[in-house]
Amino acid sequence: MSTSTLVRIPAGNVTVEGMLELPEGAAGLVLFAHGSGSSRHSPRNNTVAGVLRQAGVGTLLMDLLTPEEDRDYARRFDIGLLTQRLLDAVRWVRVQAPTRALPLGFLAPVPAPRLHSRPRLNWAAKSARWSRAAAVPISPASRRCCG
């Protein structure tokens, strides 16, 4: 049995939405972040997320931009903004009771490689594209984020 919840994540002066789905006893959480014209409703990403959930991994499919921001084409490639939004999502995940202790992985646009330099984020894996997932060691001491 898994739970499915539409979540609202504070991100600076806006709120972005995501769909959090956690199978019972989830072994980890993969955050699918969209910011370059794709959205959390992408059939391809939803298919991959479904496979992960069947394997016991939770998923959070989220948009890094609000619908209004996404209309501004330049924002889709604002690496600083997208990186900050991804950090906001990680902070949110790390304070929610069902997700705070789960190892965290990412399927994300451009910001994911830039975040690799932040050692306190408790990486399980990261990827700028699905086919290039890179495992990154997790330190038990680094389970807290960004504080």
HSE at residue 59, side-chain half, CA atoms within 13 A, is: 23
Q: CB within 8 A of 57, min separation 6: which ones?
A: 23, 26, 27, 28, 29, 30, 105
CA distance 120 to 146: 7
**Tokens in use for 68?**
């209004």
| Predicted local distance difference test score (pLDDT) of residue 108 | 63
State the chain's mean pLDDT as an integer. Answer: 75
What confidence tier does 141 reach under pLDDT thresholds 50, 70, 90?
very low
Domains in the chain, start-ordered, CATH in brackets? 2-24+36-103 (3.40.50.1820)
| Predicted local distance difference test score (pLDDT) of residue 57 | 94
How much is the pTM? Answer: 0.72
CA distance 76 to 55: 31
Number of H helices, E strands in the chain: 4, 7
